[in-house]
Amino acid sequence: MIGRAFGLSCEGCHMFSIVLATATRFLLPLLLLLSVYLLVRGHNEPGGGFVGGLVAASAFSLYMIAFDVEKTRRLLRAEPRALVGAGLLVALGSAGVSPVLGKPFMTGVWLERTLPVVGKVGTPFLFDVGVYLVVVGVCLMILLTVAEE
Amino acid sequence: MIVAVVVGFVLGLLAPLVVRVARNGTGWITGLVPIGLFAYFASFLNRIQAGETLFFPYPWLSPLGIGLSFRLDGLSLLFALLITGIGTFVCLYSAGYLAGHPDLGKFYGALFAFMASMLGLVLSDNLVALFVFWELTSVTSYLLIGFDSEREAARRAALQALLVTGAGGLALLAAFVLMQQAAGSFEIAILVERSPDLRTSPLYAAIIFLVLTGAATKSAQFPFHFWLPNAMEAPTPVSTYLHAATMVKGGVYLLARLSPVLGGTDLWRDWLIPLGTVTMLTGAWLSLVQVDLKRILAHTTVGALGACVLLIGMGTQGSLQACMVFLLAHGLYKGSLFLVAGIVDHETGTRNAADLGRLGRAMPLTCIGALLAALSSAGVYPFLGFLGKELLYESTLVGFTPVLLAPCAVAAGIAFAGMGAVVGVRPFFSAQGRFSGQPHDPSPGMWVGPVLLGMVGLLFGLFHGPLHSALITPAVRSCILQAGDIPTPSWHGLDVKLALSALSLLMGGALYWKWSALRGRLCRWRNVGRYGPAAGYDHALCLLEAFARRQTRFFQSGRLNVYLIIVICTAVALLACALVRDNISFSDLVLQRWADVKTYEAVIAAILLTATVVTVRAQSMLVAVVALGVVGYCVAVVYLLFSAPDVAMTQFAIETLSVILLMVVLLRLPRLRTFSTSRQRLRDALVAVSAGLITTLLVLVVTTQARNPKLADFYARNSLVLAKGRNVVNVILVDFRGFDTLGEITVLAVAAIGVYSLVKLGSHRDRIPEGPPFGGEARGDDVSP
């Protein structure tokens, strides 16, 4: 039974669960919102880029179960590989801000003013965004590749 | 000064561009770099002659006492001039020798990098910087020897040179660390002042042994001499530069540089003098049985290096003076002879000395260069070689055990004279020649080197007074602690050393005339070198390979359960060692607070244990995966209860994802057909139980021991102040220890790439992966879904 639900590539036996599909349509945006929420509040409350990324990845994997790999890739638009690369670049870039200002590598640099919703913005937050992207990318890269085979 | 050292590395990168743009003028343009550096170093001649020692410190890793401190004194200057001077001719020569070679740019790149490393080596005053440059010369020489990388022999020779000199380099590093331990500094200038401490240190013998190993590998001393003749696989300009003039003298330089620090003791003499003597005789003897021009030269070089080590070992003012003169003379004539050998090879297509002859009329300019060099090599008056040989004989006569050393030196002198003539005279004047083609003088860039180097050897011999005061005396002074007045060698009339000189010249002449006749008898010995230390090298390499193969087969078995067992057992063993080392008394670990256990905690524990048992006992993979998920969720709940919400959240998310992933994988696996035998299960159970046991113990120990609250306090207090965040866990992750996180996400990315490529690669071969994917030794057949 469960096997059927995961039977993404086996021909002729793909069971489309209308309940799961409908629920996923509503759950996916909520989960993604939750993941971003976790990421943003991570600096002060429980959360952070790592767990945020995992939640986002599970949101997409839910979508993959309800529909299929092909649709998930279309929904995702970006290649998971590209997400990993982008995440690493963002993290490295955030670490590279401080040497430009003459401080040691990876020193946190913060904006003077706070932004309305996000709050304080600084390179550690940017770094966390990088972690978020890497985690989403890595999880989906593994999951989608294995599911496709 | 640092610019002078680094410029070679920078220009090395630009070399391919220069070669492409300059085309036919390559040699003359690239030659500008070494000649410019030569002029720069020559501008210091006056100040060095006046007895100054110039220091150029550049901070590098100051807290560790490591700096790029350069020193220019007599010894460094002599070597720097030799490196840049001969480098100029090598640059000119290579353009002609390798004309049209597609990798000429790469060649010049490596050549410049080598020159820069060599300059760094002879100018460094800091032992660590010296070591770095020392290793750089090994690496660049690897590239240069193996330049003709299509040929297996070249690759083999390059690897041999790299392994031998690299191993010596490691010994040297150990020696430098010991010296720092014994005297408290890496700076040679300070070590010279503290040399009494070093000499009385209990580490002294070990230091000497290690320094000597390093120097002996680099300077091809017995028993490491075999790599040098093999390195003749290199293009001839490389042999000229590395194996005659500069790199192989690196070891001699090091011994001379360290002789005021370590030298002058009985131990020093007892090691160096026999080492030098044996090498000198080995090189001289092996040179007689060669017919290849370059191999003859390589073996006489080994002999000459032995003579230098012998002279440094004696350590007297006179012997060091002899060493410097001999070294300079050797660099000039040997460089020239190598270039000539290259030209002959280039024009006739053969390097077999027995086949060459009658070239004198065809290539007169080359012939002049060769003759000048051969005369200097033979030690004919008034060449510099004569002076070098005179001083060598004098040192052996007045020094230690002259009865033994003087005949050895004369024997070597005979070989140098005879074999120098075989290379420098025979190809041009011998009556018969068997080669193809119409040889003629090469382009000016190629013949200018041997001719000028030969002339310099003659001029220095004629006017050795100024040479002494400008170069030799300052060089000797920097090798001796209390230098007295160093006299310029002068004509003593007829004495023993002159007689010895005449004797070696006569015998050398006889060797030359009788060489063709002798060769037949000597040829039987040609392969004698193969049974020496070279065979040992081959054996050691074979053993190493066999060991590596066996080790890889053991650790990389390709079976997942073996990998897991190795990883888990290693972790358990290490943790057990730590627990035993810290002498934990297990009586403290008794759970005293049973009463504190809340009901809901007990319930969670019960669920967790049940799920674990279900996981292990499950007959289907599906049940096992679900049960494993339950275990993970229970652990997450425990985190939540013990106020670690961040960890709990992460654990929940991870569990969810891994259950999904396992499901996706499971669908693609064959059904289990054979299960593990009961013995395998017992083994697995033991491994699992020991891992669980050690983890439990560890947690108990950690929680019962008094913790150092400083760290937690620091983070708690500074999280908001320094990092503007109230969630300490996250602040540690992204700020305080952000560098770790950066590393971790990189590892994560690499792991994902690994999975991706494994799956993609596997799909090309077979849809169903072979062998047991996880768990026992299950063998499955195709299962259609």
Pick from B335, B332, B345, B312: nearest CA to B384: B332
Instruction: Give me the residue from A6, A88, A110 closest to B749, CB to CB.
Output: A88
Q: Using a CB-CB distance cutoff of 8 angstroms, which residues of chain A are in contact with residue B654?
A: 54
Task: Report the share of chain B in percent with pLDDT over 70.
Answer: 92
Concatenated DSSP letters for B272-322?
Answer: HHHHHHHHHHHHHHHHHT--BHHHHHHHHHHHHHHHHHHHHHH--HHHHHH
Quick check: B778 pLDDT over 50? no
Helix (H, G, I), strand (E, B) or coil at B776: coil
Q: What is the pLDDT of residue A129?
A: 94
Q: For A86, name the nearest residue in chain B, comparing CA atoms only.
A: B749
Q: What is the pLDDT of residue B96?
A: 86
Quick check: B774 pLDDT over 70? no
Quick check: B436 pLDDT over 50? yes
Question: Using 50, 70 and 90 to split pLDDT, how confident is the model at B580?
Answer: confident
CA distance B423 to B339: 11
Helix (H, G, I), strand (E, B) or coil at B48: helix
Question: Using 50, 70 and 90 to split pLDDT, how confident is the model at A117?
Answer: low
Among B445-454, B477-486, B750-759, which is the least confidently predicted range? B477-486
Instruction: Give me the residue from A46, A81, A138 closest to B727, CB to CB.
Output: A46
Q: What is the pLDDT of residue B775?
A: 38
- CATH for B556-765 is 1.20.120.1200
B497-521 pLDDT, tens digit per residue, is: 888 888 888 888 888 888 877 777 7
Q: What is the pLDDT of residue B242?
A: 86
First to last CA, chain A: 20
Pick from B454, B436, B272: nearest CA to B374: B454
Which residues have CB under 8 Å from B776's CB, separation 6+?
A: B561, B672, B674, B675, B676, B680, B681, B684
CA distance A39 to B343: 71
Which residues have CB under 8 Å from B484's CB, separation 6+?
A: B317
Q: For B643, name the nearest residue in chain A, comparing CA atoms only.
A: A46
Length of chain A: 149
A24 touches chain B (CB under 8 A): no
The overall average pLDDT reported for chain B is: 85
Helix (H, G, I), strand (E, B) or coil at B126: strand
Quick check: B195 pLDDT over 80? yes
A20 touches chain B (CB under 8 A): no
Which residues have CB under 8 Å from B581's CB, separation 6+?
A: none
A64-102 pLDDT, tens digit per residue, is: 989 888 999 999 988 999 999 999 999 999 988 888 887
**Maximum mean pLDDT: which of B517-521, B616-620, B746-750:** B746-750
Q: Which of B715, B736, B745, B755 to mutate to test the interface with A (most CBs of A within 10 A)?
A: B745
Helices (H), B184-292: 188-193, 195-200, 204-218, 227-230, 236-240, 249-262, 266-288
Task: Report the share of chain B in percent with pLDDT over 90.
Answer: 33
Which residues have CB under 8 Å from B44's CB, separation 6+?
A: B54, B72, B77
Question: Using 50, 70 and 90 to split pLDDT, how confident is the model at B529?
Answer: low
CA distance B210 to B100: 44
Q: What are residue A115's DSSP bridge partners?
A: A119
CA distance B274 to B309: 9
Instruction: Give me the residue from A6, A46, A122 closest to B664, CB to CB.
Output: A6
Domain boundaries, chain B: 1-179+228-257, 332-519, 525-555, 556-765
State the number of CA atoms in the 13 A half-sphere of A61 facing the CB.
Answer: 30
Token pair listed for B749: 């990315």
Question: Using 50, 70 and 90 to split pLDDT, how confident is the model at B784?
Answer: very low
The neighbour count for residue B319, using CB atoms within 10 Å, is 23
CA distance B144 to B110: 7
Q: Using a CB-CB distance cutoff of 8 angstroms, which residues of chain A are in contact with residue B724?
A: 43, 108, 110, 120, 122
Q: Count of A–B CB contacts within 8 Å?
A: 152
Burial of B307 from C-beta contacts in 10 A (0-12 / 13-18 / 19+): buried
Q: What interface predicted TM-score (ipTM) does this complex get?
A: 0.88
Q: For B660, name the nearest residue in chain A, comparing CA atoms only.
A: A61
Residue B652 Cα, gap to closest chain A Cα (Å): 9
Q: What is the pLDDT of residue B752?
A: 93
Number of domains in chain A: 1
The neighbour count for residue A14, using CB atoms within 10 Å, is 14
CA distance B458 to B463: 9
B461-489 pLDDT, tens digit per residue, is: 888 888 888 888 888 888 887 766 777 76
B311-368 pLDDT, tens digit per residue, is: 999 888 888 999 999 999 999 999 999 999 999 888 888 888 888 888 888 888 889 9
The answer to whether the CB of B166 falls within 8 A of the CB of B218 is no
A9-55 pLDDT, tens digit per residue, is: 444 445 678 899 999 999 999 999 999 999 988 888 888 899 999 99
Pick from A104, A37, A90, A108: nearest CA to B724: A108
The answer to whether the CB of B415 falls within 8 A of the CB of B289 is no
A87 is in which domain, residue-wise? 2-8+15-148
Question: Using 50, 70 and 90 to split pLDDT, how confident is the model at B549?
Answer: very high
Quick check: B80 pLDDT over 90? yes
Q: What is the pLDDT of residue B773?
A: 42
Q: For B731, name the nearest residue in chain A, comparing CA atoms only.
A: A43
Instruction: Give me the residue from B649, B663, B730 closest to A6, CB to CB.
Output: B663
Question: Using 50, 70 and 90 to split pLDDT, how confident is the model at B672?
Answer: low
Rg, C-alpha atoms of chain A: 18
Arithmetic mean of pLDDT, B607-628: 90
Quick check: B31 pLDDT over 60? yes
A99 touches chain B (CB under 8 A): no
Helix (H, G, I), strand (E, B) or coil at B509: helix
CA distance B250 to B75: 12
* Distant-in-sequence contacts of B430-436, Cβ < 8 A, 24+ apart: B430/B356, B430/B357, B430/B358, B431/B357, B431/B358, B432/B357, B432/B358, B433/B348, B433/B355, B433/B356, B433/B357, B433/B358, B433/B359, B434/B355, B435/B348, B435/B349, B435/B350, B435/B355, B435/B356, B436/B348, B436/B349
Which residues have CB under 8 Å from B727's CB, separation 6+?
A: A42, A43, A44, A45, A46, A47, A48, B646, B719
Quick check: B584 pLDDT over 90? no
B388-413 pLDDT, tens digit per residue, is: 888 888 888 887 677 788 888 888 89
Instruction: Give me the residue from A46, A106, A141 closest to B738, CB to CB.
Output: A106
Q: Could you give the angle at which helices A69-76 and A123-148 cross, rounded to 10 degrees?
A: 160
Give, in order, the Cα–Cα distances in Å from B256 to each of B252, B260, B308, B480: 6, 8, 9, 9
The neighbour count for residue B700, using CB atoms within 10 Å, is 16
